[in-house]
């Protein structure tokens, strides 16, 4: 398995934030744990050396005192000479086994050193009594003496230290989380800015503060957005210039065609020129709509506005109706909104022969104006593409129907200029719905 496969396995976190947290916390925790272990080992060895040294010196003193005391006075001094880790007993003691290992062997060596190698000594372990040892020796006058040793555990660290260690680990987790958050947050801001990137809108630039690397990335992103906006504006200007310059030769060609003798070729030529003229006009309209049309906003009465659009079509014999009762007002750009709705209606009339307009308000206060038809609709996988400029479906939306592929694109651009959004979708039972949502 390659390295990428290892890091993409199930146990490895999928987000950069989690990965950085795991790496930093694991590294710091291991380093801190090693430091704590070294400190513990050093303190343990020091405490053990001190304890065994004290044990040896105290035991040597006790044996020497008992050896010099008269036999009848020794019993009175046993408790005084005993310590917490050993007890002195006159007599042979308990039977044991000579099997000593590890710490028992080390304590036995200390007992022999304390006895000064002057007294015959035998150290045995007491079976079934944990780590209990007994040293049997004979004093100078031949009296037996038993040294009953119960080794105490070495506690080189204070009892409260584990709680401090736990508190430090909690602080380490918090500091690691905070460091990762500070490192990853600019990436989140950059991703959000890239996701919301719309060069056609004049948004606020990405904050260029923070560390130098983050500031450089933000500056590069802002420069990229400005370049994209410039390229789009340049493209639209080229389209507008070409469309505008084509109008003069088209007009001349139309005049010459009108002066020609009547013939089928003349009718075909005039039809072609008419189609080219519509394409040029739509190109100019798209170029203007991409940066707004400079129109000011005003308050309109929705009922009168929608009815006037429907009546204009009805006067020419087109089947355009208004569904339901329209009421209320809206603050928008009237000419831009009218162009959006007429593009919707024209599409519906071309492909369905009839259109219906409806208006509703959402719970958030938005106004949704929808134009619906019962035509063939658009395949679901081509709905998004249909909003692109110059896109036409091969089956129906072609030159024979008079479509240039700019109607929906113009509507979408104008919707941005009025602060709205355009959406198209297929209706249940057949047909297409085109709607604009106004704030």
- Distance of alpha carbon 103 from its chain centroid, rounded? 55
Residues 336-365 pLDDT 10s: 888 888 888 888 888 888 899 988 888 777
Q: Between 45 and 158, name the one with better pLDDT.
A: 45
pLDDT score of 239: 66
Distances from the Cα of 262 to the Cαs of 244, 249, 253, 267, 274, in angstroms?
Answer: 29, 21, 15, 8, 17
- Give the per-residue pLDDT at 157: 59
Residue 185 Ramachandran class (φ > 0 left, ψ -120 to 50 alpha, else beta) = alpha
The closest alpha carbon to 346, from 375, 303, 325, 324, belongs to 375
- Given a cut of 70, whether residue 294 has pLDDT beyond it is no
- Say how far apart CA 397 and CA 219 lie, in whole Å: 44
Name 377's Cβ contacts closer than 8 Å, sequence gap at least 6. Answer: 426, 427, 430, 431, 432
pLDDT given at position 282: 67
Q: How many CB atoms lie within 10 A of CB 140?
A: 10
Three state DSSP letters for 64-118: HHHHHCCCCCHHHHHHHHCCCCEEEEECCCCCCECCCCCHHHHHHHHHHHHHCCC
**Given the DSSP bridges, would you call strands 319-322 and 354-361 parallel, antiparallel or unpaired?**
parallel
Angle between helices 407-417 and 264-289 in degrees, nearest 10:
20
What pLDDT does 1 receive?
Answer: 45
Q: How many CB atoms lie within 10 A of CB 77?
A: 14
Question: Would the pLDDT of 402 be above 70?
Answer: no
pLDDT at 50: 65
Mean pLDDT over 111-140 rounds to 74
DSSP 375: S
Cα pseudo-dihedral 351, 353, 359, 364, rounded to 10: -10
Distance CA 340, CA 438 (A): 12
Between 111 and 129, the more confident residue is: 111
C-alpha to C-alpha distance for 125 and 146, rounded to whole angstroms: 13
DSSP state of 377: -
Interval 57-80: pLDDT, tens: 877 888 888 888 888 888 888 888
What is the full DSSP assignment across 296-358?
A: PPEEEEHHHHHHHHHHHHHHTT-EEEE-S----EEEE-HHHHHHHHHHHHHHHHHHHSEEEEE
Task: State both tokens at 113.
Answer: 């050193």
**292 pLDDT above the threshold of 60:** no
For residues 35 and 42, give the distance between their C-alpha atoms in angstroms, rounded to a whole number: 11
Q: Which residues contact 387 (CB under 8 A, 6 or more apart)?
A: 408, 409, 412, 422, 424
Binned at pLDDT 50, 70 and 90, residue 396 comes out as very low
For residues 255 and 269, is the Cβ–Cβ distance under 8 A? no
**Average confidence (pLDDT) over 256-280:** 75
Identify the pLDDT of residue 392.
Answer: 67
Under 8 Å between Cβ of 236 and 291: yes
pLDDT at position 297 is 81
81-110: average pLDDT: 73
Handedness of CA 347, 352, 358, 364 (dihedral sign): negative
Per-residue pLDDT at 153: 57
* Count of C-beta atoms within a 10 Å radius of residue 16: 13
201-251 residue pLDDT tens: 666 777 777 677 777 777 887 888 788 777 767 776 776 677 667 777 777
Q: What are the structure tokens assigned to 340, written together?
A: 């959006």
Q: Which helix (H) or strand (E) holds 231?
A: helix 212-259
| pLDDT at position 150 | 75
Write out the two tokens for 371.
């134009």
Q: Is the pLDDT of residue 394 over 70?
A: no
User: pTM of the prediction?
Assistant: 0.47
| 3-class SS of residue 332 | strand
- Pick the range with the lowest mean pLDDT from 170-174, 383-387, 421-425: 383-387
Strand pairing category for 367-372 and 432-438? antiparallel
The CA angle 193-199-203, to the nearest 5 degrees, is 60
Q: In this structure, are residues 340 and 436 in contact, taking their beta carbons and an 8 Å threshold?
A: yes
Q: Tokens 């959000």 correspond to what residue?
A: 192
Q: Is the pLDDT of residue 401 over 70?
A: no
> What is the rounded CA–CA span in Å between residue 407 and residue 339?
9
- Does residue 155 carry a pLDDT above 60? no
Burial of 179 per CB tally in 10 Å (0-12, 13-18, 19+): middle
- Which stretch, 342-356, 391-405, 409-423, has highest mean pLDDT? 342-356
> Quick count: other Cβ atoms within 10 Å of Cβ 325?
7
């Amino acid at each position: 398995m390659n390295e990428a496969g290892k890091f993409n396995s199930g146990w490895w976190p999928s987000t950069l934030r989690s990965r950085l947290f795991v790496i930093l916390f694991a590294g710091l925790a291991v380093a801190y744990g090693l430091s704590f272990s070294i400190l513990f080992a050093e303190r343990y060895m020091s405490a053990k050396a001190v304890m065994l040294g004290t044990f040896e010196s105290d035991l040597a003193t006790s044996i020497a005192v008992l050896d010099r005391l008269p036999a009848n006075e020794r019993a009175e001094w046993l408790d005084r000479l005993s310590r917490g880790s050993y007890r002195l007993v006159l007599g042979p003691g308990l039977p044991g086994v000579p099997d000593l290992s590890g710490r028992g062997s080390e304590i036995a060596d200390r007992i022999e050193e304390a006895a000064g190698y002057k007294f015959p000594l035998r150290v045995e372990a007491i079976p079934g009594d944990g780590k209990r040892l007994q040293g049997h020796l004979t004093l100078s006058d031949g009296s037996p003496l038993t040294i009953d040793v119960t080794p105490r555990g070495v506690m080189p660290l204070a009892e409260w230290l584990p709680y401090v260690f736990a508190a430090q680990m909690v602080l380490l987790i918090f500091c690691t989380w905070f460091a990762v958050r500070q490192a990853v947050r600019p990436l989140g801001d950059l991703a959000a800015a890239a996701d919301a990137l719309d060069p056609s809108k004049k948004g606020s630039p990405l904050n260029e503060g923070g560390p130098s690397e983050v500031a450089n990335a933000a500056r590069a992103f802002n420069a990229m957005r400005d370049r994209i906006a410039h390229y789009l504006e340049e493209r639209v200007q080229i389209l507008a210039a070409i469309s505008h310059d084509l109008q003069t030769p088209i007009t001349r060609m139309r005049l010459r065609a009108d002066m020609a003798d009547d013939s089928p070729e003349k009718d075909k030529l005039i039809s072609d020129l008419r189609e080219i003229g519509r394409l040029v006009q739509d190109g100019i309209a798209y170029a203007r709509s991409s940066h707004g049309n400079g129109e000011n906003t005003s308050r309109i009465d929705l009922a009168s506005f929608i009815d006037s659009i429907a009546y204009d079509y009805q006067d020419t014999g087109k089947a355009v109706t208004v569904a339901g009762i329209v009421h209320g007002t809206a603050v928008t750009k009237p000419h831009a909104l009218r162009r959006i709705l007429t593009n919707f209606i024209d599409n519906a009339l071309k492909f369905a022969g009839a259109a219906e307009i409806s208006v509703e308000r959402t719970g958030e206060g938005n106004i949704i104006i929808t134009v619906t038809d019962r035509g063939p609709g658009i395949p679901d996988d081509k709905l998004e593409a249909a909003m692109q400029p110059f896109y036409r479906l091969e089956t129906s939306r072609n030159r024979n129907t008079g479509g240039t592929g700019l109607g929906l694109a113009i509507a979408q651009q104008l919707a941005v200029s009025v602060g709205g959004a355009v959406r198209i979708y297929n209706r249940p039972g057949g047909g297409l719905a085109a709607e604009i949502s106004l704030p």
